[in-house]
Structure 1
Amino acid sequence: MSTSSVLADETALSRADRTFLKLEAAMNLIAGVVIFALVLLAVYNVVGRKLFNAPVPGYVDWTEQFMATFAFLGLAFCQREGGHIRMDILVGQFRGRMLWAAEWISCVFMLLLTTALIYGTWFHFERSFDWNAPMFSTDSSIDIALPLWPAKLIVPVSMAVLWVRLVLQIWGFGRAWRLNTDRPVAVPLIEDAATQANKEAKTVDG
């Protein structure tokens, strides 16, 4: 059983939401795999250092490089599921069109901020990437000289995926406001703590 609060139907919006979710879920899975791999790397580094006096070369460099992966790849998936930390004390009291208008305005502000971040992080990536440089990188890590451009590229790419998700949610909240519905599709619905806990418990029980 899914713990998602996002509803679905056969409208074009919902189909777009479910189709785009496949990309978001794949990116989120990659982030999870990277976290697990880093845990294994940390264990190997500790054991290798303790027992064989042979730690992982450039362990800090590898960790710093992959931090961008699990820090950013899951952004859009988390936004789709309504998982980001936010204050629902005020918004949670709204109902109907007032609620959807507040959510729509929030998504518009996030879209503007994300657009600025895409612009800035893309140029940050470009400064470290050069087709004519060794390994296409003009800068690298201190210890084992890992090229930094892959990690820097992950940020604007992840932000671009988040940008599309925000556009879908602006569409969804705008549609919910227009229809004045209490069961909109393709957007996360506000749930109280008891409902969230109940869903999570059912998921664990299978």
Structure 2
Amino acid sequence: MNEPLPGAGPAGVPPGFGPAGRLLLRTCQAAAVVGGLVFVALVLMSIVSIVGRKLASAPIPGDIEVLQMCAAVACATFFAYCHLVGGDVKVDFFTARLSARICHRLDAAGSALFGVIGLLLAWRTTAAALASQESGETSVVLAWPLWIAQMAMVPGFVLMALAGLYMVGAHLRTPVTGVATNHDEVRA
């Protein structure tokens, strides 16, 4: 069950990945691990706050604010890695009977769209963070500057854009062999 995929590169690297792709994959994987650790810390903080609220009427002040800000940052770290390893949700009802070549082209187009969305999110999140910094907007309970959390999401969106744009090339470089990869299924 844990056998490497046919056509996969070293250490389970998806096919079509060169040295830059492997570096991007490792970077995105590290970002996702950091995001996962943030979620673990948020769960522990929530447990402490809930238990404190129920047993001693002493929740952690601003726990909801911390949860909202940190969860947004952590979520932004997952998109790129998920896309690089083909973990996106795909509905292939309409493409199930198409050739592998056409499916790779469609996947390349989807990756291009994914990359453009990442660029737009990075741009608009940066603009929102700068506007928030300029206005001095803070959270209600803790009075934390909101721009810091917003700006912390930008690297995840930049990785998302890079992953999408890299995958365009990876899909176009991958030889169409009819062999299943983590990005497509065997096409009849």
Give the whole-Å Cα distance in 2 for the aligned partners of 1:143 and 1:4: 50
- Distance change >3 Å, CA 75–CA 4, structure 1 → 2: farther
Which of residues 169, 173, 176 is equivalent to 1:175?
173
Unaligned runs of 5+ in 2: none
Aligned to 1:164: 162
Which of residues 167, 172, 189 is equivalent to 2:183?
189
Which of residues 140, 149, 152 is equivalent to 1:151?
149
TM-aligned CA deviation for residue 191 of structure 1: 4.5
1:103 is aligned to 2:69: no
Aligned to 2:55: 51
Superposed CA RMSD in Å reads 2.8
- Distance change >3 Å, CA 40–CA 142, structure 1 → 2: same
Per-residue CA deviations over 1:78-123 (Å, capped at 9, x if unaligned) read: 1112222231222333223211111112222222333222221211
TM-aligned CA deviation for residue 60 of structure 1: 1.2
TM-score by length of 1: 0.76
TM-aligned CA deviation for residue 42 of structure 1: 1.2
Give the whole-Å Cα distance in 2 for the aligned partners of 1:98 and 1:114: 24
Give the whole-Å Cα distance in 2 for the aligned partners of 1:14 and 1:160: 20
- Distance change >3 Å, CA 42–CA 15, structure 1 → 2: same
Unaligned runs of 5+ in 1: 131-136, 193-206
What residue identity is the alignment partner of 1:111? G
TM-score by length of 2: 0.83
Give the whole-Å Cα distance in 1 for the aligned partners of 2:36 and 2:3: 18
Identity among equivalent pairs (%): 21
Give the whole-Å Cα distance in 2 for the aligned partners of 1:45 and 1:5: 48
TM-aligned CA deviation for residue 70 of structure 1: 2.3
> After TM superposition, what 4+ stretches of structure 1 lie above 6 angstroms from structure 2?
2-6
Count of matched residue positions in the alignment of Structure 1 and Structure 2: 182
